[in-house]
């Protein structure tokens, strides 16, 4: 979350004064409906669903794709565990692929990991770094796979001019506190595919969707039991304000990232970018030759958490519930114990993606603020240059 203030307060005040807080209502404000319309227009997709979280959007999309027991879904070795958990929530099995020096999924390794059970690929635009979507889409076409873009850390980013989350069959945004735009919590599913939309619509709000408003008008999918991932008018009011700010936040992040990278050119190497123009600009990744150099830099910057390989949250080796194959509390609900999955579960080991571990421990991040002044950026550049000498 970068910019939140008076605009959001005023819109939330109106919602509270209207006393219409439920998503489907007959009041004048219609925040949720307007938010979904504005998202469709902004991102150029025919279907959007706002939800309680990015995880909710990912899981709903997978259900919408018809993915379940007996299916494998390829995820990158470097992502928040929620990506892999969404696969398990659908009853399927995550297969972990290496990332390359862009820190996003390595298309060459994706191709190597495809089996007869593979149904989808989830490229994750981690830290707002766009994945190599042209190569991913080509592979998906060749093997007839779905592509679900996890753009939870990349609200508003793009790849070669096309918005992230709109290139694959479906995409997911997160609006939790740590994202480019935020309502504290929240998420959205975007898709061009009517089937995915109808199933995700039912799955994300399976008790209320049939009873409130006209949500099922024109829907041909038979209702089935799913989840309760419905949002509310307060969240929607905040997100409508945030959506209006999105492109300015991104422009300022990108300008500040460029200013700092230009000043550091020649002093250090950076991670590879698949599209620097579309990158969200939240993070600079400095790439070192050795882990010792990265460690020394992080220490000099007093930023021990800046090495992506050492966050304890985002590397496959740290995804305890996946690595330990604890797919559900009840054993009969656990995809790792299901008969349909018995021949398709990989042998997860902590060192199975050596290439990713090596790269991720040789990088140190600099987080960017869209609100930095030139003087603040110059001070940051001086601090980085000094730390690079360590």
Ligand X SMILES: Cc1ncc(COP(=O)(O)O)c(C=O)c1O
CA-based R_g, the chain, Å? 21
Among 20, 32, 79, 158, interactor with ligand X by CB under 6 A: 79
Task: Indicate whether 176 belongs to the interface with ligand X (CB under 6 A).
Answer: yes
**Binding-site size, ligand X (CB under 6 A):** 15
42 is catalytic: no
Tell me the pairing of strands 162-163 and 158-159. Answer: antiparallel
Task: Indicate whether 123 belongs to the interface with ligand X (CB under 6 A).
Answer: no
For 41, which DSSP code?
A: H
Site for ligand X, residues 264 to 303, rule: CB under 6 A: none
Q: For the beta carbon of residue 43, count every other beta carbon within 10 angstroms.
A: 19
Q: What phi and psi values does residue 270 have, to the nearest 5 degrees?
A: -115, 160
For 22, which DSSP code?
A: B
Among 91, 187, 281, 335, interactor with ligand X by CB under 6 A: 187
Question: Cβ of residue 259: shortest distance to ligand X, in angstroms?
Answer: 26
CB-nearest residue to ligand X = 54
The residue among 271 and 377 lying less far from ligand X, judged by its C-beta, is 271
Task: Indicate whether 182 belongs to the interface with ligand X (CB under 6 A).
Answer: no
Give dist(CA 118, CA 71) in Å, integer: 6
Among 3, 23, 55, 113, interactor with ligand X by CB under 6 A: 55
The residue among 48 and 79 lying less far from ligand X, judged by its C-beta, is 79
Asked whether 330 and 276 are in contact (CB, 8 A), the reply is: no
The residue among 128 and 327 lying less far from ligand X, judged by its C-beta, is 128
The residue among 20 and 153 lying less far from ligand X, judged by its C-beta, is 153
Asked whether 65 and 170 are in contact (CB, 8 A), the reply is: yes
Tell me the pairing of strands 72-76 and 93-97. Answer: parallel
Token look-up 């969707």 returns 209
Cα→Cα distances 207→29, 46, 200, 203, 217, Å: 24, 24, 13, 9, 16
The residue among 84 and 387 lying less far from ligand X, judged by its C-beta, is 84
Task: Indicate whether 128 belongs to the interface with ligand X (CB under 6 A).
Answer: no
Q: Exposed/middle/buried for 321, CB within 10 Å: 0-12, 13-18, 19+?
A: middle
Of the residues 23, 113, 179, 245, only one is catalytic, namely: 179
Question: Cβ of residue 236: shortest distance to ligand X, in angstroms?
Answer: 15
Task: Indicate whether 150 belongs to the interface with ligand X (CB under 6 A).
Answer: yes
The binding site for ligand X (CB under 6 A) comprises 53-55, 79-80, 82-83, 124, 126, 150, 152-153, 174, 176, 187
Q: Which residues are catalytic?
A: 179
């Amino acid at each position: 979350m970068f910019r939140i203030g008076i605009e959001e307060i005023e819109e939330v005040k109106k919602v509270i004064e209207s006393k219409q807080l439920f998503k489907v209502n007959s009041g004048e404000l219609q925040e949720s409906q307007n938010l979904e319309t504005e998202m469709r227009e902004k991102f150029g997709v025919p279907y959007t669903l706002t939800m309680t979280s990015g995880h909710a959007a990912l899981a709903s999309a997978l259900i919408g794709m018809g993915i379940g027991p007996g299916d494998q879904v390829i995820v990158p070795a470097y992502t928040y565990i929620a990506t892999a958990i969404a696969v398990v929530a659908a009853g399927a099995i995550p297969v972990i692929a290496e990332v390359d020096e862009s820190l996003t999924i390595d298309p060459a390794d994706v191709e190597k990991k495809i089996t007869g059970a593979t149904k989808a690929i989830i490229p994750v635009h981690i830290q707002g770094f766009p994945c190599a979507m042209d190569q991913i889409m080509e592979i998906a076409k060749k093997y007839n796979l779905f592509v679900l873009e996890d753009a939870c850390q990349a609200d508003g980013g793009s790849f070669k001019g096309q918005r992230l989350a709109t290139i694959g069959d479906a995409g997911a945004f997160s609006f939790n506190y740590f994202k480019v735009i935020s309502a504290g919590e929240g998420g959205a599913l975007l898709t061009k595919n009517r089937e995915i939309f109808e199933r995700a619509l039912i799955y994300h709000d399976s008790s209320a969707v049939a009873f409130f408003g006209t949500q099922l008008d024109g829907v041909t999918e038979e209702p089935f039991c799913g989840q309760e991932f419905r949002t509310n008018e307060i969240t929607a009011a905040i997100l409508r304000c945030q959506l209006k700010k999105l492109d300015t936040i991104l422009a300022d992040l990108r300008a500040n990232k460029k200013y700092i990278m230009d000043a550091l050119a020649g002093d250090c190497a950076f991670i590879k970018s698949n599209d620097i123009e579309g990158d969200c600009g939240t993070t600079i990744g400095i790439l070192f030759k050795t882990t010792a150099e990265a460690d020394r830099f992080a220490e000099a910057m007093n930023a021990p958490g800046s090495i992506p390989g050492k966050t304890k949250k985002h590397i496959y080796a740290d995804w305890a519930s996946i690595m330990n194959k604890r797919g559900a509390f009840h054993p009969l609900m656990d995809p790792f114990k299901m008969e349909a999955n018995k021949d398709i579960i990989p042998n997860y080991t902590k060192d199975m993606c050596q290439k990713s571990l090596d790269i991720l421990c040789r990088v140190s991040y600099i987080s960017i603020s869209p609100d930095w002044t030139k003087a603040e950026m110059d001070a940051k550049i001086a601090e980085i240059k000094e730390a690079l000498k360590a």
